[in-house]
Structure 1
């Protein structure tokens, strides 16, 4: 009537069962086996058969159940069990959940398979029929197939790869591709919300937002790789300042400026021709034509400005005609007249200073000095005339000394080609040494010229190596120094 305990390693079948024990020659137990049904079963004798086996002879009150394979004939029947001489005993393992896989810790040794037992012992959870070897391992935090690996079919290598820039202009499509490429289903999300119909591996959008994808395989395993933020930038709106029609005086330079943004790229055009190297926000030119600028950001955002048309306007001519004698020793005045033109305005200058009120086409000079006129036409273009030198060769009134000779350069300002004129009070021959000195006191040019009959009249050509600026011109004659200012412009 005992269950598994003590020397008995096989569970009982009912009230009382047959219990067979085999020992070796020394009496040590080799195996034991329980036979019976649900009721009372008792063995009375165990004769050996001629084939070396045994008969278990007794009676039973059990019906067809347990180890009894035939129905009973009445209340108490004979029941004979034949044991083979060759049938080996085996370990069987309890299969409590009925999934066909036994528990290693619930074994029994038997000639035949007891009910509820199986030959294998590979079940890792005998209380759950959904957990056993051969079961598909799904992602649930459990080792479903008893191989000591939890969720072995999880998705690996999940990622989103954008093609191209993720900062684009509105309306430019951005393609997102999910990985892995096979064995999973996809659902794309924007800002955490599913996008209806977006269930393919590749997803294209023209919108801004935070995009993710949820991937799912056949083992209930899900993966959500790092999302991608797509920014929609403001498209450039190219504008040139100044815009429209611009009048530019011949020989002058104007600067065109595009609206600036540190992330923009620029390319200037004259007409339809790209200007090589003109890739800055500003462009300077002295040439007429139609100019545009293309502004771009990234590979697809661009804008082309409306054209700025530069029209070259002519400068007026500016010449002075002398009416009278430049030596005003006897006359006291001399009249200077310049050319006239439609829309011209005038400004007379003595030296580098404007003469107040001297804005007519003629001016009467009553003082020695260097005179010139600036003429401006209706386009706003100006030109300065060559210098006219008015002087007095006689003694000043009340003075016994002759007037100081006046050193004159013209034109002044000069582009590097100018004439030096000096009248000495003594009509002798001599040699003049001329120096051009910059504001740092450095001599940048030297020339020597003859003086004939007390007059120096010498033309000079200075190359472009001398930069534009204000210089001091010194003329040294017989240890006497004469000087004046000279402005060079390129």
Structure 2
């Protein structure tokens, strides 16, 4: 069989995308898309892009096959003649990494479909005639086999599997299933043998394989009819498989055989669309053919929200059978809407006067449909724009009843073709294209593989849109200006205030809306909220400056774009070593400012001081200790007695201290106060009964004192350990020797006292 079967035409996809404005957006009518950006990726030989899958990180996963060695965007050497080649790009199409997967030298490995999997990795599917070599671990079953590779999120291979019979098996489509496995689809000329459990029915049959999450085959099914005819030597060729809402599967492709086998309906012309509905276990529920009197080949389908199906392909049929409109040229886009049982509800034909080939269909954001493919037509029939070069991409948008809303042509001066169309997370679409054009028309980057070697061409589109630029915050006393800008020429602007110019002066906070009207009556609306300025800058730090030190002041101004201190500094923090008032001005987006200030006061130094020399005082007397007074405010006194005044009076012996405390310093002084008894001892006692000086009265006695008295002959006449000034009133006249002692203080007094009358 030929390397590329006749049904596998070069295909390319175009997309219409909604691009969000600043706080946007609603469209009164659906607008034709404009190119947002395009990227050319490849090496020095041919590189074909089959699909571009939006990824969860906002980028895209590109999958196709390549004959290029290490060159340009291709970082790994080729394995066979053609290898699987995948490229991960970011949201703007810039390459992040690429990987090459192939088999034996001289082998042909054609990647046809890919999908991001639930675990963040990727599943790749295609067909290969390699044996076990390179990245392929399974031997050849015979001719081409289905070859499936599972990658992790970084493109590292986790496993690969091959499935095939003893002849040719061409993989076309895959879909991850709800159970974490995969449904694989294509067409086969193999009989029962190898991985194929059912016999061949026609020259080629639909062949679907259900595998688990590790690629282990669970079941396979063959569907076809018996007769053969002129269409690619007869047979059926499956192009798309999708899991349906009920857990079953929908198969779509083309058939040209007469009734028989699994085909229950008639053939209208040379080839018809053929739909086959399966249960979750792969049992056929029903089949349906759709066609006109000519050749009708299905290339794309999806299940619609009402449970029916949108099926689309290429047709050269005129009116007849299921086809309700005449042919425009040698090939047209043909879209058919069916109910849940595949019964046609309506059909639509779109084309120019030359050949137009449909490659994909996807849902539109408004419930309609987007058709994409390649065209050789100029401006004619349903095609409103002229051709760019040797072949172009053509995009047609219809509403939910199939009425055309707009069409777009994209391409360079050479041949450009497209394969898949995918919706993107922002409501737009990404186009997986191939191109041999250099920089020209809609192509912004040069060809990498020469004018006979296609490159991968990734195109992102967006409809005409309006955006508002200008401050989101209104500065006090400073009116703002909002400016409306659009991605296409504008017929008219209208602001919510009634102003019809592109600019609007705003003096009050509020919500402002502008609507731009484009040619054809398309409108786009953008909204900007202008809030009052409420940001307040503050300063944090120490407000007291200690002698010989510095303090750090820090501005708090969340969201500020710039700071300016009175010192000239522009940093968030400044270090100051002088007292004074410091200020900072914070500038915010839109030019608003906020000013804050902070006073730094100097703290006076505490002088060195003394409480005086240590001293001894008489028992029972008080002493006033004095710390320096009249110091600057903020000085705290902390005496060891607990007092907080500059002076303190003490009556007990001991060591006394005081701390003079400020935020900057602590100074301490102390003084020891000792006590000694200070006694007045009389030398004469006049015991005459006049109640004056009748006793030996010692002044100043405190505590326990012992007294011994002796007469002149050394005889002890008195002895007590607790003298209370009671001796002498009855003593005999004479001179007495005394010994007065205090044990607690080891103090002793001795001397003579005379008693007279």
Q: Give the TM interval when normalised to the shorter protein.
A: 0.3 to 0.5
TM-score by length of 1: 0.36
Larger gyration radius, structure 1 or structure 2? 1
**TM-score where L is the length of structure 2:** 0.25
Q: Which has the higher contact order (CA 8 A, sep 6+)?
A: 2
